Amino acid sequence: MGKGKNVTSDTVAPTGRAPIARAILITGATGGIGAELAYHYAAPGRTLVLWGRNPQRLADIAARSTTRGAKVFTRQIDLRDGDAALAAFEEDDAAHALDLVILGAGLSDIQGPDDMTEDPGKVLGLALVNYATPIALATAAARGMIKRGGGQIALIGSVAGSYELPFAASYSSSKSGLAFFAKAAGLSWRQHGVFVTLIAPGFVDTPMSQRLEGPRPFLVSAKGAARRIARAIARKQRDYTFPWPFKVLEVLVRLVPGRLRERILLKLAVGQKDRA
Ligand SMILES: NC(=O)c1ccc[n+]([C@@H]2O[C@H](COP(=O)([O-])OP(=O)(O)OC[C@H]3O[C@@H](n4cnc5c(N)ncnc54)[C@H](OP(=O)(O)O)[C@@H]3O)[C@@H](O)[C@H]2O)c1
């Protein structure tokens, strides 16, 4: 477990009206979307707690966020270790009284064309990073927020969570599970002042989608994605799918008979560049 690290010594006093979210934790802050979210929220009066694995990216993103006036703490952590993540969260929550937690870390994998199944080891890692650890962290966050009178949690899912993708069974099911969790937990916690937002992006131009072979329709920039995500959080939306054609597709696909849907899904050919 990495220790929380303060990368700035000067606390910037809030000016004027208190910001809606004072202390924000972002997992996957070293990723394309996470970094842009950090820059979006970086402002005087805000504390950002940034989690990631890549130490250089963490330091760079923290430095840039600090220049925008935020007080920034970083934590290098691997979310495959759920117990360590929970312990780290308790530490950060006790130190900063987090009022917005964005769980954005994630990994994707696509079955190779010659493989009959995904790699079981990778499936386990993906399930931990995309589903098990985020739902445990969300629950820990909700506990603290309920005690303090409220807060917000955003989980970054995917439009892939709406489809049983045969070439990415672990990814699509992890995001589907996350969506179901967001719905169920959101229903429960809302009564106690904690609002959950499930974000379901289509293709966003980050290292994750850059590895895909083939077209990335309706591609959104990471900066554009961060802006949309922050807007959905500010509006306390229960779920938010973007860009909008994917929402339309989701509705249309429901009208397709099951057998035909399966045939279409089996015909989808998606590849991935590096298969590390
Ligand atoms: N890009 C898209 O088209 C797209 C579409 C739909 C949904 N999403 C979702 O959006 C979220 C952000 O993805 P992105 O596009 O920004 O991808 P990205 O640039 O590849 O970033 C992934 C982030 O997850 C972190 N991460 C991965 N494995 C981890 C682990 N074991 N422990 C801790 N952190 C780990 C990475 O940390 P390090 O780099 O430091 O290892 C990085 O910060 C993900 O949940 C993804 O599923 C993305």
Q: What is the pLDDT of residues 183-219, one digit of tens each?
A: 999 999 999 999 999 999 999 999 999 998 888 999 9
Q: How far apart are CA 155 and CA 167, in angstroms?
A: 23
Residues in the chain: 276
> Domain with 267 in it: what CATH number?
3.40.50.720
Count of the separate structural domains present in the chain:
1
Answer yes or no: is the C-beta of 52 below 6 A from any ligand 1 atom.
Answer: yes
- Beta-carbon neighbour count of residue 243 at 10 Å? 19
Cα(206) to centroid(ligand 1), Å = 9
Cα(221) to centroid(ligand 1), Å = 15
- Which residue would you say has higher pLDDT here, 8 or 51? 51
Answer yes or no: is the C-beta of 274 below 6 A from any ligand 1 atom.
Answer: no
pLDDT, residue 11, reads 31
CA angle centred on 170, ends 122 and 54, rounded to 5°: 50
Q: How far apart are CA 26 and CA 38, in angstroms?
A: 7
For residue 117, which amino acid is it?
T
Instruction: Report, as an integer, the average pLDDT of 232-252.
Output: 95
Q: How far apart are CA 21 and CA 168, in angstroms?
A: 35
- Which residue would you say has higher pLDDT here, 94 or 12? 94
Name the residue range of residue 62's domain. 5-272
Answer yes or no: is the C-beta of 204 below 6 A from any ligand 1 atom.
Answer: yes
Cα(108) to centroid(ligand 1), Å = 8
Answer yes or no: is the C-beta of 177 below 6 A from any ligand 1 atom.
Answer: no
Q: How confident is the model at residue 4 (pLDDT cuts 50, 70, 90)?
A: low
Which of 60, 103, 176, 206 gets mutated to test ligand 1 (max ligand atoms within 8 A of its CB)?
206
pLDDT, residue 5, reads 58
- Is the Cβ–Cβ distance between 163 and 53 less than 8 Å? no
* Gyration radius (Cα) of the chain, Å: 19
pLDDT, residue 112, reads 81
pLDDT, residue 14, reads 36
Residue 10: is its pLDDT beyond 60?
no
- Which residue would you say has higher pLDDT here, 109 or 55? 55
Structure tokens at 123: 């499936």
- Which residue would you say has higher pLDDT here, 14 or 250? 250
pLDDT, residue 15, reads 38
Instruction: Report, as an integer, the average pLDDT of 37-42.
Output: 98
- Is the Cβ–Cβ distance between 93 and 144 less than 8 Å? yes
Per the prediction, the chain carries an average pLDDT of 91
Q: Which stretches does DSSP call E strand in 36-142?
A: 47-52, 71-76, 100-103
Q: How confident is the model at residue 160 (pLDDT cuts 50, 70, 90)?
A: very high
Instruction: Report, as an integer, the average pLDDT of 20-43.
Output: 96
Q: 3-class secondary structure for 230-271?
A: HHHHHCCCCEEEECHHHHHHHHHHCCCCHHHHHHHHHHCCCE
User: In degrees rounded to 5, what are phi and psi of residue 225?
Assistant: -65, -45
From the CA of 128, give the closest atom in ligand 1: 31
